[in-house]
Chains A and B, each alone.
Chain A
Amino acid sequence: MSESDQNILAMESISKAFPGVQALDDVSFTLKRGEIHCLVGENGAGKSTLIKALTGVDHPDSGKITLNGKEVHVRSPQEGQALGISTVYQEINLCPNLTVAENILIGHEPHKMGRIDWTKTNALASDTLQRLLGVDIDVAKPLGSYTVAIQQMVAIARALYITSSKILILDEPTSSLDVNETQHLFSVMRRLKNEGMGIIFITHFIDQVYQISDRITVLRNGKLVGTYYTASLSRLELITKMIGRSLAEFDDLTKTKREIKKRIKSEALLHADGLGRAGAIEPFDLELHAGEVVGLAGLLGSGRTETANLLFGSDRPDHGSITMNGELVHEYSPLGSILRGVSLCPEDRKADGIVDNLTVRENIILAMQSSRGWFNFLSLPQQYEIAEKYIKLLEIATPSPDQPVKNLSGGNQQKVILARSLATNPKVLILDEPTRGIDVGTKAEIQKLVLSLAEEGKAIVFISSELDEVMRTSHRIVVMRDRVKVSEFPGDVGAHEIMQAIAGSES
């Protein structure tokens, strides 16, 4: 049997463009019978677009999908299911108030004299769970009374029951599971694999990739980096492929960075002492100094954003404390932080950043106004003055300060949010992915701005998925892995050490 005959699925040269983005560019992917194949890549790499092309949610612009040797065109998710492709998504879309049996067999219940035969329904459901997944639970109980892991397995059982699946896609099923639950899920996956099913497994956890997968396909920026046998790819190599260090020439940023480095004050402006929040991030210590840029590096889900939210007070810590300017912080709230001089540019620009119906002017003054209270309203001339100052300073491309911010491009929206933070005149500025999804020119501008703000004496936390960027702008680099702060490096450390820290134990 040749290699291609084992392929249950082959996707060849798939391309898909959305307005303004090439989401997938000539990506090929194969899945063998009895294989667990991990699909990895950072946000925006094209994983979900590839899955959507396969399951019929989206239609590729070009490329060929071959299933069991026959070319197919999947036009809708229903067609995908009929072809034997089952998908279990991260959010479980089952009904928690129905019983397990009802969830598995809904719409397919056996009937007796015009009524649902409950005895048979329960027996069938129980049998399906035991035979396929080796899970033995009381199927007459409501789904909601079981753990998320069991619910996840019920979702798998349902997917497998309604179609005689050959392919199972698991889209980040472990993100809300704890260690034991994950192991339970993995044993189920191995069982299915041994029965000859092809499983596509999407995850952000590198450890899990190595625990369970046979092969790995890496995507980056919509392009295929490669498909590798897990056994022959080291963690470090994998991380390098995911993050993709472009050897871009170091510009004058490095020089500026060194000059500032000399002037960093020794006493900490903000001191986090054993700060932590259960389920978000393990307790960590962190010191921020005036004039210093601290970079947070780590993969998605490693706890970078959680750290930012704790420092800003948008999430309340349940462990440890923050001391700022020598005073213990008591009020953990965004407003409290803004009044203390701590400001955050949130990661998700659209959901947490811009207020899209308000104008550029209103968006810029929003945080400043909330620190002044309800009645101490900035007069219109003052508002225009502030807005125009930052439009000029950050070179925000807008026809007028009265333009609704939703009409601006992503990069300019990012600058508006930055302006909102700067208008509060913060001493500590936390930037969570300030350069995501914006063009290269604006990225460089923002990096330069970060350094010049540090030069003015602000303490800056710089979070980015791009290691290159973190290394170029930071005086100190903190590495996060699996929701733990693992190490701290001086800014001139080599990329190799950082990647090793990101990848973890083995290298």
Chain B
Amino acid sequence: MRKFTKPSFTLRSITESRLFFPLVALSLILLFDLIFIPGFFAIESKDGDLRGSLIDILRNGSTVMLLAIGMTLVIATGGVDLSVGAVMAISASMAGILMNPAALRNEVFFVTDPYYTFQPLWLVIVAALVVAIICGLWNGLLVSYMRIQPMVATLILMISGRGIAQLITNGVRVQITYAPYAYIGQGWVILPFSLYIVAFIFALTWLLTRKTAIGMFIESVGTNFRSSFFSGINEKRIKLVVYTFCGFCAGIAGLIASSNIKTSDANNLGFATELDAILAVVIGGTSMAGGRFSLLASMIGALVMQAITQSMYAVGVPAFALQAIKAVVVILVILLYSEQVRGFVRNITAPKKEV
């Protein structure tokens, strides 16, 4: 009988091909930085903590990276979650109000003691994440058991989520002064603290999807849910879990983002980040139609998005023009994936035959 090739070798070669395009995109942006932005690659050690533009990309990218982890799984099932930005705001508002409830009475309340908080930190975090998980569960119920199209189902929360966040904070932007909370987004242990959170969630998700059957079931449901049904896979439960997990990731991202700006702002926190997260996943090569996914490729995709933002700021592109520049870069990257464009390039580069 024919001997099959060793699994380790084939697995590695698959990973390589999946990561190839996202890495090319990232390298191109870094190359641009290398040429046009002096000192972009400089990393200095300050009291043992590493600082520099590259570190900033990682730190500022941590929210999109977290969102991209959840979004990858959702998109792999053939869905999409438009509500992650709003869920970020809900989770941040929940956290903010538990630390500084004076905002509920619409009082302007400046806390001078950086160690004052209304509720202990653990409760703040748990409450915020529970609310985020409920949001995800809601999306999951609509998509799996109510059979509403994912885009419509999550659009509901995308729109209403900001309102819910405002209800929680009574419409006020809540100042967060509690110093331990600020550590989540601004702390530094050689590398930014938020990166460790991302690394932990990434590792957890990787283990859950690749060391259990969940990853294979997600890919199977996303590729062909009827075949999966006939194989005995509970497609509804898979979707429910995935959307709930996506809400959980968005909740953590909300904590990091609000800690970073020391405010829970129901209107602006996480605004339009769902698009960055979706694009990160797409740049990572996961098809919007569902199926095969790679968490690592999505992470690189998230870094591509963040690197674009950071580089444009560094060369002096004004904030209002940033979205347009981003769009151009994203279009270029997406075109790389298009079979049509690849075929077109193949045609024009192929040696011409005279007719």
Contact = CB atoms under 8 A, between A and B. Distances in A.
Interface string B227-251: 1111111100000000000000000
A380 B214 CA distance: 14
A291 interface: no
Nearest to A402: B10
Contact of B227 (A338, A354, A377, A392): A354
A369 B216 contact: yes
Contact of A375 (B14, B213, B232): B213
Interface in B212-271: 212-214, 216-217, 219-220, 223-224, 226-234
A30 to B, nearest CB: 41
A327 to B, nearest CB: 19
B122 interface: no
A375 B210 CA distance: 11
Interface string B1-20: 10011010010001000000
A358 B10 contact: no
A76 interface: no
B229 A355 contact: no
A357 B232 contact: no
Contact of A344 (B223, B230, B291): B230
A339 B4 CA distance: 31
A278 interface: no
B234 A358 contact: no
A373 interface: yes
A393 to B, nearest CB: 11
Contact of B213 (A356, A372, A388): A372
A371 B232 contact: yes
Contacts of A354: 224, 227
A366 B5 contact: no
A369 B213 contact: yes
A346 B4 contact: no
A401 B4 contact: yes
A18 interface: no
A353 interface: yes
B353 interface: no
B292 interface: yes
Nearest to B13: A402
B232 A400 contact: no
Interface residues of B, number: 27
Contacts of B226: 351-352
A401 to B, nearest CB: 6
Contacts of A400: 4-5, 10
Interface string B284-317: 0000000110000000000000000000000000
Contacts of A165: none
Contacts of B213: 369-370, 372-378
A384 B1 contact: no
Interface string A325-362: 00000000111011100001010000111111110001
Nearest to B234: A335
B230 A314 contact: yes
B232 A334 contact: yes
A204 interface: no
Contact of A355 (B10, B212, B214, B227): B227
Nearest to A376: B213
Given A357-B219, A400-B4, A374 B227 contact: no
A483 interface: no
A392 B4 CA distance: 12
Contacts of A346: 227, 230
A357 B5 contact: no
A374 B219 contact: no
A158 interface: no
Contacts of A337: 232
Nearest to B14: A402
A358 B219 contact: yes
Nearest to B292: A357
A458 interface: no
Given A335-B232, A346-B230, A362 B211 contact: no
B332 to A, nearest CB: 26
Interface in A467-485: none
A410 B214 CA distance: 28
Given A357-B291, A375-B212, A375-B213, A420 B223 contact: no
Interface string B305-337: 000000000000000000000000000000000
A402 to B, nearest CB: 5
Contacts of A355: 219-220, 223-224, 227-228, 231
A358 B4 contact: no
Contact of A377 (B5, B212, B224, B292): B212
A380 B7 contact: yes
A354, A374, A376, A402 pick with most chain B CB within 10 angstroms = A374
Contacts of A377: 211-213
Contacts of B229: 314, 334, 352
A384 B7 CA distance: 9
A400 B291 CA distance: 21
Contacts of A358: 216, 219-220, 223
A129 interface: no
Contacts of A356: 223-224
A367 interface: yes
Contact of A392 (B1, B212, B232): B1
Contacts of A314: 229-230
B10 A357 contact: no
Contacts of A366: 216, 220, 228, 231, 233
Contacts of B214: 374
A352 to B, nearest CB: 5
B227 A367 contact: no
A50 B230 CA distance: 33
B1 A370 contact: no
B230 A352 contact: yes
Contacts of B291: 357
A366 B233 CA distance: 8
A57 to B, nearest CB: 24
Contacts of B5: 400, 402
Contacts of B1: 392
B231 A367 contact: yes
Given A334-B229, A370-B233, A388-B4, A362 B224 contact: no
A371 B219 CA distance: 17
Given A373-B213, A400-B10, A402-B10, 19 more contacts: A314-B229, A334-B229, A351-B224, A352-B226, A352-B229, A352-B230, A355-B220, A358-B219, A358-B223, A362-B216, A366-B231, A370-B232, A370-B234, A372-B213, A374-B217, A377-B211, A384-B4, A388-B4, A402-B14
11 contacts: A334-B229, A337-B232, A346-B227, A352-B226, A357-B292, A358-B220, A362-B216, A367-B231, A369-B216, A370-B217, A374-B217
**3 nearest A-B residue pairs (beta carbon):** A335-B232, A370-B232, A367-B231
